[in-house]
Every structure is written in structure tokens, then in C-alpha cells.
Structure 1
Amino acid sequence: MPFGYSKQKALNEVEHILNATLWAHLLFVLHCVKKASQGMALFHFFSLFNTKINVSRAPSDFRDVA
């Protein structure tokens, strides 16, 4: 076996581990971004829904003002 073979093999294995770790982190970040965007979409939908309810209630809330 050549002298540098085990060192090169170890470096290759470390590189594979680092690549797998980086891909795992990238997938986790993408998953978090997807969940956050879904959460923001739901928040936006419900805030629009609440705004519509508040606007429809507004005339009855201000009946005594006029």
C-alpha cells in the first residue's frame, strides 16, 4: 500500500462527511423556509379574513357616533 493512500482515503471520507453535513443543513434550511412561508401565507390569509370581519362590523360599532 502506498504511503499517502490511507491519508488520502481519510481526507476523502472527511470530505464526504462534510458534504453530507452541508447538504443536510441546506435541506433543513429549505424546510424551515418552506414552513415559514406557509406560516406567513396562513397568517396573511387569516389577517385578511379578520380584516373583512372587522370591516363588516365597523358600521354597527359606530352607530351611536353619528
Structure 2
Amino acid sequence: MRFGTSKQKALNEVELILNATLWADLLFVLHSVKKALQGMALLRFFSLFNTKIIVSSAPSDFRGVTYSFNS
């Protein structure tokens, strides 16, 4: 066995672990950005209708949730 072989093997293992960690971090960031953009799109969609939700005490399963559309 040559001198330094185990050191090179250890360095290769560390490099693989770092690469995997960086890819996992990148995927997490992309996932977070995607979710944030979906939330913004949903907000924009509902703001198109200028919707207010009013909760009153009507006898129904939805507890009297009524929608008010402002023009």
C-alpha cells in the first residue's frame, strides 16, 4: 500500500459528503422559493376579487362564513 492512499480516500469521502450537503441545501432553497412563489400567486389571485371573509353566527356546518365582494 502506498503512503497517503488512506489520506486521499478520506479526502474523497469528505468531498462526496460536502457535495451531497450542498445539493441538499440547493434543493431546499429551490423548494422554499417555489412554495413562496405559489403563496404569492395565491394571494394575487384572491386579491383580484378584493375578497373579505365575514364570519357570522348562522346555523350551518361552515359556521356562517359569508363572502363579501367589493367593487
- TM-score class, shorter-chain normalisation, is 0.7 to 0.9
**Please, which runs of 5 or more residues in structure 2 have no aligned partner?**
52-68
CA shift, 1:16, in A, is: 0.2
TM-score normalized with structure 2 length: 0.72
Greater share of helix = 1
Q: How many residues are paired up?
A: 54
* Cα root mean square deviation, aligned: 1.0
TM-score normalized with structure 1 length: 0.77
> Which residue does 1:54 correspond to in 2?
70
> Which residue does 1:6 correspond to in 2?
6
**C-alpha separation in 2, matches of 1:49 and 1:24:** 39
The structure having more radius of gyration, on CA atoms, is: 1
Greater share of strand = 2
**Please, which runs of 5 or more residues in structure 1 have no aligned partner?**
56-66
| Larger RCO (CA under 8 A, 6+ residues apart) | 2
Cα deviation, 1:5-45, whole Å, max 9, x if unaligned, reads 00000000000000000000000000000000000000110
- The alignment-based identity, stated in percent, is 81
